[in-house]
Amino acid sequence: MKQWLKNRRKGYGKKLVSIHAWNAWIVVILAISGLMLVGGFWREILGIGRVWLKWLHIIVGLAMLAPVVYYLILAGKHWKQLRNRPWQRVNTIFVLALLVGWLLSGIVLWQFKLAGPRWSNAALLIHDLLTWVGLPYIIYHSITRTKWLKDPARRAVKTTTTSTRTQNTADPSDSISDEKETPAAISSSQFDRSSERDPLKSEERPQPLYTRRAFIRSAVGVGLAVTLGPTFISWVGRNLKIDNSIDSMLENDPNRMVPLPQPLSASSPPIGGGAEGHFRVYTVTPIPSFSNANWSFRIDGLVERAQVWNWEQFVKLARTVQVSDFHCVTGWSVYKNTWEGISLAQLLKQAGVKSEAHSVKFYSGDGVYTDAITLDQAQMEDIMVAVMHDGKPIPADLGGPVRLVIPQMYAYKSVKWLNRIELIDSEHIGYWEERGYDKDAWLTGAAQRIPNNLSGS
């Protein structure tokens, strides 16, 4: 084993350069693909390409294991060379912790159906935290350190003569470190080089105060701060409730619906105790806004009695209350939501479904998003056309004034800004299903779940 490690560590300096180079490219690809995956603008532009981009992100993320393992093989020698440099040891531990944290949390998110919602929820929070805290640093570190290691003048040269190197160093690469030279080492190496030059040409050219290399490093740092800074602030706001609570959303809600729905006794206070977790706002279009003048709700298609309501009529319909968890296919969850609304099965019964109907199609008020479930699936008692969440109106950011809630399926089935239900005689492929998502979005173990419905008074 010792001989194997010794062979692997030959050419240590060059291998360390390669590790930094590969790691830099991996992190850059992961950063770009990750930001595109969470960006609302790219969701519409990429289409089915978003699914391919997701798999690229997963594959490249798993490839991160290679440079980490490769470095661990060389770590013993590297750690010895850092013995008098505690801050560089801290830097090495920090970078390794970031890489390993990204890798492990990414694997949990990749296998979120096996991990379960609580593990995936925690993994997503950790993945995001490591991204916004570590990404600017690690890209900057990888890019600059790769250039740094390629510059012989900035390596720690421990020997000055061939004979000394032969006597004291079994492996020539032992003389190469990824650290800056000490002042003494710099002076020594400069003296050795200057003594070999022609005395007539020994005068050094003046050095600029701000080199091109320093400018590039500064530009990279500033660019990362400008690019990632606002997104990081937004992430902090979403996850630490800085101006992003439901109350804050309602204060800035663009919807102007009058009158506001009044909560049932089971909603206020919420019988579920209040939602646990934070909603992440994903949209494929700009968030629409509604008022009494431009909002209506209809059920049509293959029904005996087409139904149309304006807002004043809709809020007078009998509502029920249920407590359920909300799971997004990207790995996050919000638990113990208290939803108040109208049972889908009740609405379909009121409209009278014709025998030739096969599926129930849902339309979003954004004019783009649609989805569907089969007529048999639509009979589940916990599917709700919701108008309130935890005793409060649903803000536009979360799909209000009315959204669909299907607790036993992933949330891309729970259409936001719902304003039309159509009964059709065939299957319908929804927005995300057209882009590679599963047609049946069942949660793991959903068939065993017992709907938790509570009648309102």
Question: Do 190 and 281 sit in the same domain of this protein?
Answer: no
pLDDT tens track for 182-196: 333 334 344 344 444
Give Cβ neighbours of residue 381 (< 8 Å, ≥ 6 apart).
343, 345, 451, 453
**Structural domain range at position 306:** 259-455
Q: What is the CA radius of gyration of the chain?
A: 30
Question: Do 86 and 225 sit in the same domain of this protein?
Answer: yes
Q: Which residues pair with 322 in a beta bridge?
A: 339, 453
Question: Do 197 and 212 sit in the same domain of this protein?
Answer: no
pTM: 0.66
pLDDT of residue 182: 39
Question: Do 38 and 125 sit in the same domain of this protein?
Answer: yes
Give the separation between CA 61 and CA 45, rounded to whole angstroms.
Answer: 23
pLDDT tens track for 355-412: 999 999 999 999 999 999 999 999 999 999 999 999 999 999 999 999 999 999 999 9
Q: Tell whether 17 is covered by a domain.
A: yes
Mean of pLDDT values over 21-42: 78
Q: What's 219's DSSP letter?
A: H
Extended beta strands in 344-402, E state: 359-364, 370-374, 384-389, 392-393
Question: Do 222 and 294 sit in the same domain of this protein?
Answer: no
pLDDT of residue 363: 98
- Closest Cα partner for 256 from 284, 294, 205? 294
pLDDT of residue 181: 40
Question: Do 228 and 318 sit in the same domain of this protein?
Answer: no
Question: Do 234 and 215 sit in the same domain of this protein?
Answer: yes
* Residues 404, 260 contacting (CB under 8 angstroms): no
Q: Which residues pair with 300 in a beta bridge?
A: 422
Structure tokens at 448: 């065993």
pLDDT tens track for 69-115: 888 877 777 788 778 888 888 888 888 888 889 899 889 888 877 77
Question: Do 309 and 451 sit in the same domain of this protein?
Answer: yes
Question: Do 38 and 78 sit in the same domain of this protein?
Answer: yes
Q: Tell whether 6 is covered by a domain.
A: yes
Q: Tell whether 287 is covered by a domain.
A: yes
Q: Tell whether 11 is covered by a domain.
A: yes
What are the C-alpha distances in Å from 440 to residues 117, 254, 377, 411, 425?
Answer: 18, 33, 10, 12, 18
Mean of pLDDT values over 293-307: 97
Beta pairing, strands 384-389 & 403-405: antiparallel
Question: Do 182 and 287 sit in the same domain of this protein?
Answer: no
Question: Do 213 and 197 sit in the same domain of this protein?
Answer: no
Q: Tell whether 189 is covered by a domain.
A: yes
Question: Domain with 282 in it: what CATH number?
Answer: 3.90.420.10
Average pLDDT, the chain: 77
Residue with tokens 């806004």: 289
Give the separation between CA 160 and CA 194, rounded to whole angstroms.
Answer: 13
Mean of pLDDT values over 306-331: 94
Structure tokens at 323: 């407590």
Question: Do 180 and 268 sit in the same domain of this protein?
Answer: no
What are the C-alpha distances in Å from 252 to residues 64, 249, 281, 300, 444?
Answer: 42, 5, 15, 33, 36
Domain count, the chain: 3
